[in-house]
Amino acid sequence: MVERKKQMTRDKVSRLVNWGHWFAFFNGFLAMIVGARYLSSVGYPETFIGWGYLAVSTIGHFSFLAFIVYVVFLFPVTLLLPYSKILRGYAALVASLGLCILLYDTIVYDDYGIHLSPFAFDLAWTDLNALLKSTSYIVTPISIILIELTAANFIWKRIEKLEKKQLGNKAIAFVGICFISSHLVHIWADASDVTQITRFDDTYPLSYPATARSFMESHGIEGTNIEDNRYQTKSRKLSYPVKPLQCKTPLIQEQQSNVLIVSVDGLRADMVNEQTMPFLTQYQTDNKQFIDHFSGGNQFKTGIFSILYGLQGNYGDRKEFYHTAPVMTQTLAKAGYQQAIFLPQDNANPFIGRAIFDELTPFINHSDEGSAKTDSKNVAQFINWQASQQSHWFSIVNLTAPKHYDTPIGFLGIETVKPHIMLKPAEKVLYNQYRQSLYFIDQQLNQLIDSVDKDTVVMITGTHGQVFSSNPSEVNQNLSPGNVKVPFVMHWPKAAADTVTYRTSHYGIVPTIMSQILHCNNPSTDYSSGYSLLQPSEQSWVYIGDSRTFAIYQDAEITVLDRHGKYQIYDINYDKRLKRKLSAPELIQVMREGRRLYNQ
């Protein structure tokens, strides 16, 4: 009798376990439906291989999440309380809560580009009214609970039929194959730089696809190192500019100023002095210098984007801007300006097929002797180009020698000095080699300025700063002041020399040219994230970086964040990490600015 009761209990528990497996499988399917909202945020694949990977990844990932929820929350209760009515109600409640959290995460990810975390939850809670725009946040949870209760009872009544068909093992095998194959495909894609697959790495919550780049390379399997320019993000209606531009072109052509922007990769603000860069130091003194100026990023890609578009770097990751030329260069073209950009091949390659240089004639140079020789070619080519222009012109000259610590063969530099900052022995060598490169660039700047007349508007700045490291990964991830704070000097015809002490950034270049040279009456918010350099910014922060990793510079602290919601707060010198929570109001302003130009 006792044995029979034990057997009945075991049979009951076994039936409940089988029911739990099918209920988890059903919820994995529901999670896939909810998870489709993530794809509307990042964009859909454009190739068969992209769709194939996404299919197996979605099935494997969400089924795995559903199974984890079952193991953690349902299986123990099945053993402790093997009563079907209690278990079905409890399971429906747990599943409903899980799907609601997943649904809320899709909303947060769509608006902020990050998944739920304690930080993201605080942010979303503060901005709750903007996220929940209708009564669906009441109706949806109720609908989910009703679906879960119906499904729990439906599966329970048919569990014996499902067992007889022996579909369980087949379903488990199918999900297992999808899960494993998605990771194997990602290992290959990561090693081969197949961005049509790897771009989905951060799309799903708790997704950590396997990578084996170093393992595969150590076994002689090399990646293709080809960048896929078809990176897709959410396709929304872009309002850029927000309103039609109202610009007045002077009737007399002579009233239109030529404009030259010189952007030097790796030009630190604290390295411009009489010993290292005597020409630029004197040029700053004789013109309008901005002593608290920031780039829009720590790499050429984000730095040049902020110069030409005047927008935060996260816009540069949006597919709409792959096919949208800067408003500034479009307006310059309408005003009859001849436009050109002079840059090295390495900096031009990432923008092939994109619209950022559409209105500019690109002059691309390369030299096997190094970036310093390339810079000399670009300077000489610009001098010849501008001398041949018969009408007003706009040009950008990009110099890169300091970024690579390069000088021409046989160049006679300056004596080494003790670094003004704390550096390791190897970094001290880079520091002084960097100074040699700056001394060379200073001479190139002298040639550039001598070649243009005094009525030309000239802006000299750094595309980004420089940190003294030979590790490219470390340099690209560093958002310290040394890597983003750059000098900025502006020669404005007939304007007196002046020192600007309020904080400025590359976002102010476009509004300055649009308002002062192209005479556009629109507020700068119609086409830019910044304000004219000739007036203090209304914002208490500066956004620096792209959509994956960025920093928010405020008056007394620097906050570095990634799209997973992890953040660190430093003092304004980036020396000490502060133990404090992030201020949500400022971050909400940042996030809203990053989606302001889109119609939802």
State how far the Cα of 394 lies from the Cα of 489, in Å rounded to an integer.
17
In 390-528, the DSSP E strands lie at 393-399, 457-464, 488-491, 498-500, 504-505
- CA–CA distance from 140 to each of 26, 30, 134, 213, 276 (Å)? 18, 13, 11, 42, 64
pTM for the model stands at 0.74
Taking only Cα atoms into account, the Rg of the chain, rounded to an integer number of angstroms, comes to 29
Can you give the pLDDT at residue 1?
55
Give me the pLDDT at residue 219, please: 41
Question: What residues contact residue 244 under an 8 Å CB cut-off, 6+ apart?
Answer: none
**Digit-coded pLDDT (tens) for 124-173:** 666 666 666 655 667 888 999 999 999 999 999 888 888 788 788 888 89
In this structure, what token pair is assigned to residue 503?
């904080």
Please give the Cα distance from 512 to 510 (Å, whole number): 5
CA dist list (Å): 65 to 62, 93, 200: 5, 16, 17
Output DSSP code: residue 311: S
- Give the confidence band of 406 by pLDDT, cuts at 50, 70, 90: very high
Q: Which residue shows structure tokens 């190739």? A: 47
pLDDT greater than 90 at residue 465: yes
In this structure, the strands spanning 457-464 and 259-265 are: parallel
Residues 6+ apart with CB under 8 A from 369: 408, 409
For residue 361, give both structure tokens: 């004639």
Which pLDDT tens digit goes with each residue over 297-327?
Answer: 999 999 999 999 999 998 988 878 988 999 9
Query: According to the model, what pLDDT value does residue 236 have?
Result: 57
Classify 113 in phi/psi space as left (phi over 0), alpha (psi -120 to 50) or beta. left
pLDDT attached to residue 248: 84
Q: How far apart are CA 596 and CA 599, in angstroms?
A: 8
* Domain extent listing, the chain: 2-218, 257-504
d(C-alpha 516, C-alpha 497), whole Å: 18
CB 131 within 8 A of CB 108: yes
Q: What is the pLDDT of residues 407-418, one digit of tens each?
A: 999 888 899 999
Q: How confident is the model at residue 211 (pLDDT cuts 50, 70, 90)?
A: confident
Q: Tell me the CATH class for 257-504.
A: alpha beta
The pLDDT, as a whole number, for residue 134 is 57
Is the predicted pLDDT of residue 201 greater than 70, yes or no?
yes
Percent of the chain with pLDDT over 90: 57
